[in-house]
A and B are shown apart, each in its own frame.
Chain A
Amino acid sequence: MKELLIGNGAIARGLYEAGCEIVSSYPGTPSTEITELAAKFDDIYCEWAPNEKVAMEVAFGASLRGKRACCAMKHVGLNVAADPLFTLSYTGVTGGLVICVADDPGMHSSQNEQDSRHYAIAAKVPMLEPSDSKEALEFTKKAFELSEEYDTPVIIKMCTRVAHSQSVVELSERVVPEMKPYEKNMQKYIMMPAMAKKRHPFVEERTQKLTALAETSDLNREEWGTGEIGIITSSTSYQYVKEVFGNEASVLKLGMINPLPVERIKNFASKVKKLYIVEELDGIIEAHVKNLGLQVEGKEMFSNIGEFSQSIVAEAFGKEIPAFDSIETAVPMRPPVMCAGCPHRGMYYVLSKNKITVLGDIGCYTLGAQAPLSALDSTLCMGASVSGLHGFNKAGGKETEGKSVCVIGDSTFMHSGVTGLINIAYNGSNSTVIILDNSITGMTGHQQNPTTGYNIKGDPAAKIDLETLCKAVGINRVRVVDPYNLAECEAAVKEELSVDEPSVIISRRPCVLLKSVKLNPPVKVDRDKCKSCKMCMKLGCPAISMHGGKAEIDKTLCVGCGVCEQLCKFDAILEGGAL
């Protein structure tokens, strides 16, 4: 049967067909749907782990016990899971183990543009790189076979354009391999120096064998063209090359990006007049090809920044690109914003108003960095707000302790914030941590997490009690506020900043986009009372704008949170239903 699937859906289907039985992941765009869609198959046990390191270790355990297992994450997630990855390379697997990692060239929704291919090389693990959904499905199945045959975890590398593009796939049946019996094998699975020393040569040998495979495998393929040039490429770059050249250029399309073949590349090079490499981000294939002593052009023609397209490829080769029309008027930007009624907004208003230094973290609440709230001072990586604040205060002492806080979402706190909080308690900084608890992992599209009380299937699950957790790690001052209540938030922030010990403020209210949240009728503006002071505009709420000098509420967006009402000194904003 033929179907249109996004690349991530094709991977999920591949997991199903390959008989994968355990999937543990942490969400992150553009990888999230792999696990969300795998969870729709009742035959696959899926879960959201608190972070990527945990997820990969769960997959390791499942493989150790003899089943096919998988974990999925975005590129930066692999930084978090790098520790298990590098030694998993040594232990190898029992049941097949596949790691899906999705890069985000162009940074559609990421904090950096790192190239995950470096990890495969550094950890000496094979990496497959599909260029569309059909390959995503096939490569997933192939990855499990390779994993078991070569005793190695296998990475499948996606990128935004493959992960989030729908293309046609062919479906087949699920085949579950027999579960491998459990046998204690200390030489293979206990990685202490004596054993690891013996496993490292195994890894090197495995790479040799995989290189031999790359020489003949149909994961890589030559497409001979009519012209004289040859292009080595992979992933979505392959699609752009084909779009531009059709059958005109010869193409060596690499589906296995690590290890790379040697003889096959030399052979391809010998059959073309001029050799080029088209690859997004870093020049990894290029470095390999140059190491073989071959003449090749790559990053001289193409940037290592951002994503490519057919026009970028065409232009680099001096081909014509289509003409187009433009307009003179400047079109204002439309950046993403915190939703109307977002519970993060109230707390941000208070922090911004009091000119507090805010070490930020990653989530919907990162959007509070934008005007008019401009509430954040830093955003590095998940969890860094809490640990960063500790360092900031150790460096700044009394001068910063009384006017700096950090903000972190519930999912992010579970991911890697709690370790920073343990450090604050243990190494004693006078830090104020604000947990923005909206009862969901918002930014990545509403995944459950350990604080929500539900699992990936939406079934009830253990619910971590944040207050108890914070107290248990040694924070004595833990309080909960409602971010819709500005006075309460302001009082709490001022008080906790003034005391001489660490504290946690939990700013708690569920995300307004959750189906379980009851919304209020939109508020209304009494135009006679509105004095055009624009106080309400300071919230940066997308539902409020000024028209004809008066504040106006967009009824389709407003959910009646009432925060703007509290700001209006002239009582011009009225609860819905009034007037």
Chain B
Amino acid sequence: MNKSIMIVGVGGQGSLLASKLLGKLLLSEGLDVKVSEVHGMSQRGGSVVTYVRCGQKVYSPVIDKGGADCIVSFEKLEAARWIEYLKKDGVIITNTQQIDPMPVITGAAEYPENILDELSSKVKVDALDALSLATEAGSAKAVNIVLMGRLAKYFDISYDKWISAIETTVAERFVELNKKAFELGYNY
């Protein structure tokens, strides 16, 4: 299984945990795995991107334009920002949440109104209100795991393996909450 997945979002949304989960899971499948993150500046509410790649042998830790099988986006504008990185037959899984970036807040730019429609007219988009689902699971912070649940739909890896990866990745007191969040995303 060769896969290239991008996890994109806004600094502070928990993309690092999602990539950690994914990395662990793929490693336990006996695959070669590379996960590339950028720390530092980008955590301060900026646009963040993580690359996850797996296969028999993975060389490059990054994904280029037209290289991602799947883009998991924690915020819809970020899905639009990275669309060019999607493979021709790839899929974007996106949270429908809107978080205004500073240029929009200051009025220097506008948040594009029908961005999801425009995306859907170009590529395959699987959009869900992950924030509500996470809140339903017990915490708005679980958006990342809701989206991983959705991503699982596109993988040939059993539900149980995902769950055990969650169990070994998140702190014990959050396991139940995250299992629930995962399930809500998966069955959405």
Question: Which A residues contact B (CB, under 8 angstroms)?
Answer: 2, 4, 6, 29-30, 32-33, 108-109, 132, 160-161, 164-168, 236, 239-240, 242-243, 309-311, 321-339, 364, 367, 370-372, 443-445, 537, 540, 542, 544-546, 556
Residues of chain B contacted by A109 (CB below 8 angstroms): 38-42
| 8 Å CB contact of A333 from B61, B85, B109, B122 | B109
The A contact surface, by secondary structure, is loop
Within 8 A of A (CB), among B28-70: 32-47, 58-62, 64-67
Are A4's CB and B59's CB within 8 A?
no
Are A311's CB and B64's CB within 8 A?
yes
Within 8 A of A (CB), among B100-124: 100-112, 115, 118-119, 122-123
Rounded to whole Å, the gap between the CB of A546 and the closest CB of chain B is 7
Given A310-B64, A337-B44, are A4 and B103 neighbors across the interface (CB < 8 Å)? Answer: no
Residues of chain A contacted by B87 (CB below 8 angstroms): 322, 324
Rounded to whole Å, the gap between the CB of B168 and the closest CB of chain A is 12
| 8 Å CB contact of A445 from B43, B83, B101, B111 | B43
Q: List, sorted by A's number, 30 A–B pairs whose CB atoms are closer than 8 Å.
A: A4-B27, A109-B39, A109-B41, A132-B34, A132-B61, A165-B36, A167-B34, A239-B59, A309-B64, A311-B67, A321-B64, A322-B64, A324-B65, A324-B86, A324-B87, A324-B88, A329-B80, A332-B103, A333-B47, A333-B109, A334-B77, A334-B101, A336-B11, A336-B45, A372-B106, A445-B39, A537-B105, A540-B105, A540-B106, A545-B100
Residues of chain B contacted by A243 (CB below 8 angstroms): 59-60
Residues of chain B contacted by A331 (CB below 8 angstroms): 77, 80-81, 112
How many angstroms between the C-alpha atoms of A329 and B84 in the bound complex? 13
Rounded to whole Å, the gap between the CB of A328 and the closest CB of chain B is 8
Residues of chain B contacted by A166 (CB below 8 angstroms): 23, 33-37
How many angstroms between the C-alpha atoms of A372 and B107 in the bound complex? 10
Since A334-B102, A445-B43 are in contact, a sample of 9 more A-B pairs with Cβ atoms closer than 8 Å, ordered by chain A residue number, is A4-B23, A6-B37, A166-B23, A309-B62, A321-B65, A327-B83, A330-B109, A331-B80, A445-B39
Tell whether B147 is near chain A: CB-to-CB under 8 Å: no
Residues of chain A contacted by B44 (CB below 8 angstroms): 336-339, 364, 367
How many angstroms between the C-alpha atoms of A198 and B41 in the bound complex? 46
Are A321's CB and B66's CB within 8 A?
yes
Rounded to whole Å, the gap between the CB of A369 and the closest CB of chain B is 12
Rounded to whole Å, the gap between the CB of B153 and the closest CB of chain A is 22
The B contact surface, by secondary structure, is mixed
Are B102's CB and A164's CB within 8 A?
no
Rounded to whole Å, the gap between the CB of A269 and the closest CB of chain B is 24
Nearest chain-B residue to A329 (Cβ)? B112
| 8 Å CB contact of A164 from B36, B46, B86, B112 | B36
Are A325's CB and B36's CB within 8 A?
no
Residues of chain A contacted by B42 (CB below 8 angstroms): 108-109, 336
Tell whether B10 is near chain A: CB-to-CB under 8 Å: yes
How many angstroms between the C-alpha atoms of A212 and B11 in the bound complex? 48
Are A337's CB and B45's CB within 8 A?
yes
Residues of chain B contacted by A236 (CB below 8 angstroms): 61
Tell whether B3 is near chain A: CB-to-CB under 8 Å: no
Rounded to whole Å, the gap between the CB of A309 and the closest CB of chain B is 5
Given A108-B40, A333-B101, are A165 and B24 neighbors across the interface (CB < 8 Å)? Answer: no
Are A29's CB and B40's CB within 8 A?
yes
Are B59's CB and A334's CB within 8 A?
no
Are B108's CB and A371's CB within 8 A?
yes
| 8 Å CB contact of B39 from A164, A326, A329 | A164
Are B35's CB and A4's CB within 8 A?
yes
Nearest chain-A residue to B34 (Cβ)? A167
Are B122's CB and A322's CB within 8 A?
no
Q: How large is the interface on B (under 10, 10 to 19, 20 to 34, 35 or more residues)?
A: 35 or more
How many angstroms between the C-alpha atoms of A329 and B88 in the bound complex? 19
Nearest chain-B residue to A541 (Cβ)? B105
Tell whether B170 is near chain A: CB-to-CB under 8 Å: no
Question: Which B residues contact A (CB, under 8 angstroms)?
Answer: 10-11, 23-24, 27, 32-47, 58-62, 64-67, 77-78, 80-81, 83-88, 100-112, 115, 118-119, 122-123, 140
**Interface core residue of B24, B64, B77 (most chain A CB under 10 Å):** B64
Nearest chain-A residue to B11 (Cβ)? A336
Given A321-B64, A545-B100, are A168 and B109 neighbors across the interface (CB < 8 Å)? Answer: no
Are B110's CB and A332's CB within 8 A?
yes
How many angstroms between the C-alpha atoms of A336 and B118 in the bound complex? 26
How many angstroms between the C-alpha atoms of A239 and B60 in the bound complex? 5
Residues of chain A contacted by B122 (CB below 8 angstroms): 325-327
Are A334's CB and B78's CB within 8 A?
yes
Residues of chain B contacted by A338 (CB below 8 angstroms): 44
Nearest chain-B residue to A332 (Cβ)? B109
Residues of chain A contacted by B37 (CB below 8 angstroms): 6, 164-166
How many angstroms between the C-alpha atoms of A546 and B108 in the bound complex? 12
How many angstroms between the C-alpha atoms of A240 and B47 in the bound complex? 24
| 8 Å CB contact of A334 from B10, B32, B36 | B10
Are B106's CB and A322's CB within 8 A?
no
Nearest chain-A residue to B140 (Cβ)? A556
How many angstroms between the C-alpha atoms of A109 and B100 in the bound complex? 22
Given A324-B88, A542-B105, are A30 and B39 neighbors across the interface (CB < 8 Å)? Answer: yes
Residues of chain A contacted by B83 (CB below 8 angstroms): 324-327
Are B24's CB and A4's CB within 8 A?
yes
Residues of chain A contacted by B108 (CB below 8 angstroms): 332, 371
Residues of chain B contacted by A132 (CB below 8 angstroms): 34, 61
